[in-house]
Amino acid sequence: MPGLTRWLAAAVAALGLLLMLPTAAQAKWLRAETPRFIVYSDGSEVTLRDQITKLEAFDTILRQFHGLPAEGVPPRKMEIYLVDGPTGLRRVWPGAEGIAGFYSADEDGVFSVAVRQRKEDRTLFHEYTHHFMLQFFPYPYPAWLIEGYAEYFGATQFNGKFIEVGRFDEGRTNNLIYLGWVSLDDLLTKRPFQLGDGDSAALFYAQAWLLTHYFMGDAQRYPRMLAYMKEVGSGENSAEAMVRAAGMPLPDLDRTLRSYLKGGLPYGRYPMSPPPAVAVSVLPPSADDTLLLSLRLIQGARPSDELMADIRKVVAKWPGDRSAILLLANALTRSGDPAAAEQSLRDLLAVNPNDVDVLIALGNNRLAAARDVPDRRTALHREAGKLFARAYKLDAASYKALYGYVRSRTVESGYPNDNDMEALLAANELAPQADDITLAAAYASILRREWPRARALLLPLANSPHGGDAAREARDMLKRVDAASPAPAPA
């Protein structure tokens, strides 16, 4: 019986190992991937699969509406993090209050974080519409249309085997019924934060949704909206262009919109696209501590003392864990102590020389170190450039690697040469949502006195209702472009 004893012992040992491995049912964090999305969730696998399948179908609908091939894929996949309630949101953005999710886009990451819900997809669809339009159709749209368009598609509903676009929006309708409307002139020419109180901002979104619905809901009116967009994009006054698009003065349009709201809003019903293949994997247990904290780290330029303390606790809890080590190294680099992070990054790279995230982190570390040693600045930038180039060779969809390479080149006397400009534009094409990359590409264009390109890059950002400091900087740069560029030749 010795052979049977050994077999039983081996079986018991194997069973013990299996029991210790995380499963989809037991794991805290799961990762789902489809052709266009990567979605992380600390909820059930069933909900995760349902959510990513709906996102794929929603993307297909947007493609059909905008004349893109239904089977096409973006240059890189959108990353979304689904969390369990407001507490999860605050782990990434401590100031998040009264919202169901948010979208973030800069050189360190383009992603969305949303509260996980089975039946309410408005926030995800709204933010993804912004992402989609910036990716494929960047243009200087007026602020009301940017938000109205996202509200229109954000209200999309799934009904069995059908997708319904242009559905009635109860929340926005209640705003319109119970609150006093802002003037159409203000709606057409201002941004939400310029209207004062919270009710006015809420009405901005509600009226923007209704006005967009008015044009989108009628096949004859829709071409007029397209003509209006072109007029405003070419510099025409938004209110005056709307009078021409609507075919009536603004007071008449206001009355027409109020009647339209009461008349039963039209919507379209479309068949669901075939479900995509969904690959679900289980993240290591450490993800419960590292995943959202890594997103929080990139929300600010320099980590606070409180955040650094939290990160050090995570590293102590998970000694030797790659994600924890990388998290601390990135935090040290951002806090102004790149020397303290270098050896741990080297050790990670020794384990896996093809780890793109580590190569990028080490490149950023070199750039940070160069700020403190002027005599080695050029040498460190060149070392960083080689690391970013290695990362980009391994992942041609990594705009972080591409933009890092361009940043490493800024100390060279010939910057920006043709190759630098090509790399910047490629990074911008991969992530047109990242404001800092857009501004860098525009600035390089200005240095090369390529005024039309600088203007084309700056206009969409300058009009962004959520652009903040970046939008203000874009508007300032546009003024300098207008002052420096030669006047166009007469027609």
- State residue 488's pLDDT score: 54
Spell 23-61 as b/e; 16+ CB within 10 A means b. eeeebbbbbbbbebbbbbbbbebeebbbbbbbbbbbbbb
Using one digit for the tens of pLDDT, what is the confidence trace for 320-373? 999 999 999 999 999 999 999 999 999 999 999 999 999 999 999 999 999 999
Confidence category of residue 120, pLDDT binned at 50, 70, 90: low
- State residue 409's pLDDT score: 98
- State residue 98's pLDDT score: 78
Mean pLDDT of the chain: 89
Q: Flag the least confident range among 254-268, 294-308, 318-332, 477-491.
A: 477-491
Mean pLDDT of 26-40: 90
Q: Are 93 and 423 in contact (CB under 8 A)?
A: no
Rounded Cα distance, 414 and 65, in Å: 44
Q: Taking the domains of the chain in order of start, what are their residue ranges?
A: 30-271, 434-491
Mean pLDDT of 19-47: 79
Is the overall model pTM greater than 0.85, yes or no?
yes
Q: Flag the least confident range among 84-93, 181-190, 469-478, 482-491.
A: 482-491
